[in-house]
Each structure stands twice: as structure tokens, then as C-alpha cells.
Amino acid sequence: MGTNKATSVNGNQKLHAFFQGAVVPMDEAKVSVTTHALHYGTAVFEGIRGNWNEEQGKMFIFRMREHYERLIRGCKILLLDIPYTAEQLCDITVELVVRNGHNSDIYIRPLAYKSAEVVANLKLQELASDFTLITVPFGNYLGTDILKCCTSSWRRVDDNMIPTQIKSAGIYVNSMLAKTEATLAGFDEAIILGQDGHVSEGSGENVFMVAGGKLVTPRSEDNALPGITRESIMQLAAAELGIEVVERSIDRSELYLADEMFLSGTAAHLTPVVELDRRPIGTGEPGPVSTALQKLYFDVVVGRNPKYLHWCTTVVPQAVPA
Ligand code: PMP
């Protein structure tokens, strides 16, 4: 992902972006070096997946409205004034996905940001805001189907340092320090503890464990982002597998002793963790609950489970010549 210059799809067609209120070629969507968000991380964003269903020739955008509701909550906290409702943001997104003519899995990245071109001003109330949106082809984010994780030496920020219930750009410095440390040490992902030593989350994923026959995940008070994938998996586990789901604080050593562990997130989907700090989790293979939930989840996100079609927005791309 990191080095890709994602401005074209299918080789010959230019990708477009929604920028300053209009759909424009992505390479024309440029901001000034004086843009406030570039200097201070004053932005909130979302990561939304469009999952391509090859048999049906359709894109299924997963829980788009919930993502935009979280974006709007972030705008409220950071005093980002954008002139769109969640509904309008959904419409803009569908229009852009159609316009870009994708026929593979995509990542949809809306960004509400302080667009003011001003160098030294820390008063959010004085800074103009704008909204932009891009859609790019996107495959397996973690680059692996099973994860070997380490506990990070970095701690998750607390909600009274930077709000943890929203996806503000600046807070991702914390995530990146943890992810970089983990991957430089040869692990796939970091498990980040909070200041009090309880498990909070991964660098871009929520954490689950199966223990005592229950599915357990940290509470939002443990400063984990209230993930939309997390919430979907909690519903699927209870409704489809009849498993009791518990939100509570989790100690580090509980993860070592768990029967199963997995991470969830828009980019990460549901990915089993088979090792933590060089200790196998359970048998050291993906467990039965993780495997069953993963199968359910993958059917749901590509529109194959009629019971959960209301979670998906169906889009039929129509490639428009550039
Ligand atoms: N935690 C963090 C820090 C994240 O960036 C993400 C990805 N948005 C998640 C958890 C998972 O959230 P979601 O399932 O809504 O993508």
C-alpha cells in the first residue's frame, strides 16, 4: 500500500476524487503546503470497504451509514464544519464509486479536515474546514491470513488526551509507533495496552478473545475505538452462533491463556491471531469460533447472506471513459 500511487484503475482509466465540492481527476485534487491539517493532524477520517462480488458483478459497501455517523461525531468534537449529512455523504460516495468503475475490492477514504491555509493557529473554532473523498483498489491489508503479534511498548492514548472514540488523524501517530515497532521486530501487528495495563486494541483493529466459551472484547472505556466491524461481529456471534458476548477489561496474561484470539477492523476484516509474544494462542491454529465467525462475516460483507443485506449498499459500477 505505502508506496502505491493509486490514481488509476484497470490500467487505462483515471480515478476521480470528490474534492472541494466536485468530482475531479484525483491528480488535480491538491492542497496547499500551508493547509492546517497537514501540520497538526486536524482531521477526522473513515475507512470503509467496498467488497466486490464477482458472481453478481456488484460492489457491496459495508455499513457505510454507520461509518459516516462516526465521521460526523468526530467533526463535532474537532469543530469541523462540513455541509453534508450522513445521507448526503452516502450519496456522494455511491456516485464516486460508480464513477471510478471499480471491479475489485476497494477502500473508501472520506476525510474531513481543517483546510484553512494558516500556519500558527491552535483555535479550532477559527479554522475553515472541508471534506474530500477518494476510493482506491484495496486487497489484504495485513498481508497475511494469520497473525503473530507482540505487546507494544507504546501505550494507547487515553480519551482525555486525544478522544479515542473517533478517528482523528493525529491519534494515528500512536498507532503508527506501535505498528512500526511490531513490524520492525518481525511481528505482524501490535497489541496496545492502556495506561492501566489493560488490553485496548491493535494499531488499527479491535481485539477479541474466546475464553470460557465466551467471546470477550475490551470496553470502550479501555480506549478502544468503537469499531463497526467489532459491533457487527458481536451481533453475528450472539445471533448466529449463540455465543455469549462480554465487553470487559482484559488483562495481558488473559490473552496468553485464551482459547482463541482474533482482530477485527474494516481493513483487517476478521483475522485470527495464532501467536502473542512468542506464545501460541490455544492450539496455535485458528480456532473453531474464529473460523465460524470469519465465514459468516465474509458472506455478509459480499452480500451473500440475505439476512444482513441491510448492512450493505449495493453499487453497480459503470465505467465512464476518462
Ligand atoms: N481501532 C483502530 C485504531 C482503527 O483504526 C480501526 C479501523 N477503523 C479499528 C479499531 C476498527 O474499526 P472498524 O471496524 O470500524 O474499521
The string of DSSP letters for 270-295 reads EEEEEEETTEESTTSS--HHHHHHHH
Indicate whether residue 175 lines ligand 1 (CB < 6 A): yes
Is there a single domain that holds both residue 84 and residue 178? Answer: no
Is there a single domain that holds both residue 27 and residue 101? Answer: yes
Rounded to whole angstroms, the Cα distance separating 293 from 277 reads 24
Is there a single domain that holds both residue 130 and residue 152? Answer: no
In this structure, is residue 316 part of a structural domain? no
Is there a single domain that holds both residue 122 and residue 238? Answer: no
Q: Mapped to the 3 state alphabet, what secondary structure does 104-134 carry?
A: CCEEEEEEEEECCECCCCCCHHHCCEEEEEE
**What does each of the 322 residues of the chain score in pLDDT, given as a tens digit?**
333 455 555 443 689 999 999 999 999 999 999 999 999 999 999 999 999 999 999 999 999 999 999 999 999 999 999 999 999 999 999 999 999 999 999 999 999 999 999 999 999 999 999 999 999 999 999 999 999 999 999 999 999 999 999 999 999 999 999 999 999 999 999 999 999 999 999 999 999 999 999 999 999 999 999 999 999 999 999 999 999 999 999 999 999 999 999 999 999 999 999 999 999 999 999 999 999 999 999 999 999 999 999 999 999 977 555 5
CB neighbour list of residue 26: distance below 8 Å, 6 or more residues apart: 6, 7, 14, 15, 16, 17, 134
Q: Which domain holds residue 121?
A: 16-137
Of all protein residues, whose CA lies closest to atom 4 belonging to ligand 1?
Answer: 204
In this structure, is residue 210 part of a structural domain? yes
In this structure, is residue 314 part of a structural domain? no
In this structure, is residue 319 part of a structural domain? no
Q: How far is the CA of 118 from the centre of ligand 1 (A)?
A: 30
In this structure, is residue 315 part of a structural domain? no
Based on the residue annotation, tell me whether 214 is a catalytic residue of this protein.
no
Catalytic residue (one of 58, 114, 148, 167)? 167
Rounded to whole angstroms, the Cα distance separating 18 from 92 reads 8
Is there a single domain that holds both residue 85 and residue 179? Answer: no
In this structure, is residue 280 part of a structural domain? yes
Indicate whether residue 228 lines ligand 1 (CB < 6 A): yes
CATH code of the domain in which 46 resides: 3.30.470.10
Is there a single domain that holds both residue 162 and residue 86? Answer: no
Is there a single domain that holds both residue 261 and residue 151? Answer: yes
Is there a single domain that holds both residue 154 and residue 296? Answer: yes
Of all protein residues, whose CA lies closest to atom 11 belonging to ligand 1?
Answer: 265
Is there a single domain that holds both residue 300 and residue 159? Answer: yes
Is there a single domain that holds both residue 271 and residue 154? Answer: yes
